[in-house]
Amino acid sequence: MIKLYVEEKQSVKKICNILGISKPQLYRLLRKYNIPRSRVPKRPKINNELKALLEGLRRSVNISKREKVELDKKLFARILEYNCPITMIAEYIGVSRKTLMRRLIDYEFIKFTEENSNNTSRLKKPRARFKGSEEEKAYIIGLAHDFNLRGESPYTLSLKLTTTHPELIKLVLSIFKPYNPRIYRRRDGDVAVHFEVDPSYSFALTIPKEKYIKNLQWALENYPYQVLSGLIDADGCITMYKDRRDERVYWGIWLYLKDRTQVELIRETLRRLGYNPGNGKGIRLSHHQTTRLLKHLKLRHREKIAYQKVILSSLPREKKYKWHKKFRGLIKRKVANGKNSPPTPPPFYPKINYNI
């Protein structure tokens, strides 16, 4: 135990696994043999030479919000020879500890290994890259038109979605499940979903706008129905209504987006596919056009999948409309319950029968 802890400087967890003991047992042994638990080296005294090196490193740093912080590599290496803690160097030159840890990796002074994982535990480590197909990419571009960028680093993108709809939250959680998304309730009753993904998901960023528009154009040209599926899952409305004039039941798809450029791109794509989306503020498809479009869409939002199945079924229109009224009542109660309950899965996602 003494050899592992003092000489080899193994971690407590690894020593416990090797010896087959618990952490409290290991700590009792350390007290028994008068071995200090803290193995952090003492801060070196700042002599004139070290002070001159730190001052030179501080002057060489260009701190800018838009540019990457670069250091003098030779000075940085010489300072590390004095066994200066990273926190101490960061305080002296006026940058964060995480920035210095990233420079250590960039300059190949350390690497991500099990041996030095304790030193880099507070650094955001690289995450799995996007490995989906181009169709999946097009769907996410449509779904992510309302995502907000919370933060950006060389290793992660921090995204946020704010909504009141439980099913949309479940959809986003299922797509980004490998990244352990977090949900919390805001004071206004809305629910925010936070998830940190690899920078390879930058195609889903709506900032800068020009870049997102280019990605949207590419997706609409190559995979229009996948993009439309994502857009309708996120912000679309599939509904039924009864016309007052002839008392007949009709259905339609309505899609309203804030960005006029996006609306025009989608409108042009629908016209190219043979639809008539109108010229108003939003996009509205008529009864027959909705039926035709739903045959091509691959929706993932459970409520909209239910509408898709009912509309494309052979049921009479009156039965479809009765189902619609009953279903809308269930959805309204579910959303109301979601607003007044904590964001925990059992009360927040009550079960609904989506079958016809």
**Per-residue model confidence as pLDDT tens digits over 288-298:** 999 999 999 99
Give the count of beta carbons closer than 10 Å to the beta carbon of residue 59.
11
Question: Strand locations in the chain, DSSP E?
Answer: 148-152, 157-163, 182-185, 191-197, 236-242, 249-255, 283-285
In the prediction, which pLDDT does 161 show? 80
Nearest CA-CA partner of 303 in 257, 343, 355? 355
Q: Encode burial over 151-183: b for 16+ CB neighbours within 10 A, e otherwise.
A: eeeeebbebebebebbbbbbbbbebbeebebeb
Residue 257 sits in the same domain as residue 320: yes
Q: What's the token pair of residue 149?
A: 């960028």
Residue that is last in its domain, among 169, 186, 204? 204
Q: Is residue 199 part of a domain?
A: yes
The rounded percent of the chain whose pLDDT value lies above 90 is: 12
Q: Encode burial over 258-283: b for 16+ CB neighbours within 10 A, e otherwise.
A: eeeebbebbbebbeeeebebeeeebb
Residue 333 sits in the same domain as residue 253: yes
**Mean pLDDT of the region 252-258:** 87
In the prediction, which pLDDT does 221 show? 92
DSSP per-residue codes, 120-185: TTTS----PPP---HHHHHHHHHHGGG-EEEEE-SS-EEEEEEES-HHHHHHHHHHTGGG--EEEE
Helices and strands (DSSP H and E) totals, the chain: 16, 7
pLDDT of 316 higher than 80: yes
Domain of 296: which CATH number? Answer: 3.10.28.10
**Mean pLDDT of the region 101-113:** 66
Nearest CA-CA partner of 292 in 253, 235, 348, 248? 253
Q: What's the token pair of residue 250?
A: 């009709």
Q: Is residue 42 part of a domain?
A: no
Residue 146 sits in the same domain as residue 261: no
pLDDT band at 119 (very low <50, low <70, confident <90, very high): very low
Q: Is residue 340 part of a domain?
A: yes
Distance CA(63)–CA(102), nearest Å, equals 15
Residue 72 sits in the same domain as residue 55: yes
pLDDT band at 102 (very low <50, low <70, confident <90, very high): confident
Q: Is residue 10 part of a domain?
A: yes
Give phi and psi for 242, each to the nearest 5.
Answer: -110, 125
In the prediction, which pLDDT does 189 show? 64
pLDDT of 160 higher than 70: yes
Q: Which residue has the tokens 């959809």?
A: 171
Residue 266 sits in the same domain as residue 234: yes
Residue 245 sits in the same domain as residue 331: yes
Q: Which residue has the tokens 């108003």?
A: 280
In the prediction, which pLDDT does 268 show? 92
The total domain count for the chain is 4
Residue that is last in its domain, among 204, 226, 245? 204
Residue 157 sits in the same domain as residue 192: yes
Average pLDDT, the chain: 78
pLDDT of 57 higher than 60: yes
Distance CA(262)–CA(34), nearest Å, equals 69
Q: Is residue 254 part of a domain?
A: yes
User: Which carries the bigger pLDDT value, residue 303 or residue 61?
Assistant: 303
What range does the domain containing 52 cover? 48-106
3-state DSSP assignment of residue 283: strand
Report CA dihedral (169, 171, 176, 177) to the nearest 10 degrees: 90
Nearest CA-CA partner of 60 in 93, 32, 104, 101? 93
Residue 160 sits in the same domain as residue 197: yes
pLDDT band at 39 (very low <50, low <70, confident <90, very high): low
- Lowest mean pLDDT segment, chosen from 50-59, 84-93, 341-350: 341-350
Q: What angle do the packed helices 260-272 and 209-222 form, to 10 degrees?
A: 10
- Lowest mean pLDDT segment, chosen from 54-58, 131-135, 136-140, 179-183: 179-183
In the prediction, which pLDDT does 32 show? 85
Residue that is last in its domain, among 182, 204, 226? 204
pLDDT of 225 higher than 90: yes
H or E element, residue 269: helix 260-272
In the prediction, which pLDDT does 40 show? 54
User: Which amino acid is residue 291, in one-letter code?
Assistant: T
pLDDT of 111 higher than 60: no
In the prediction, which pLDDT does 198 show? 78
Residue 213 sits in the same domain as residue 318: yes
pLDDT of 72 higher than 80: yes
Residue 233 sits in the same domain as residue 293: yes
- Lowest mean pLDDT segment, chosen from 27-36, 44-53, 184-193, 202-211: 184-193
The rounded percent of the chain whose pLDDT value lies above 70 is: 81
What are the contacts of 22-27 at 24+ separation with CB within 8 A? Answer: 26/1
Residue 183 sits in the same domain as residue 285: no
Distance CA(170)–CA(254), nearest Å, equals 22
Q: Is residue 295 part of a domain?
A: yes
Q: What's the token pair of residue 355?
A: 């079958």
Q: Is residue 293 part of a domain?
A: yes
CA-CA-CA-CA torsion sign (298, 303, 306, 311): negative
- Lowest mean pLDDT segment, chosen from 102-106, 264-268, 322-326: 102-106
| Highest mean pLDDT pick, 18-22, 71-75, 320-324 | 320-324
pLDDT of 333 higher than 90: no
pLDDT of 63 higher than 90: no
Residue 192 sits in the same domain as residue 227: no
In the prediction, which pLDDT does 352 show? 43
Give the contacts of 45 (CB within 8 A, at least 6 positions apart).
none
Q: Is residue 126 part of a domain?
A: no
Cis-peptide into 350, omega within 30 deg: no
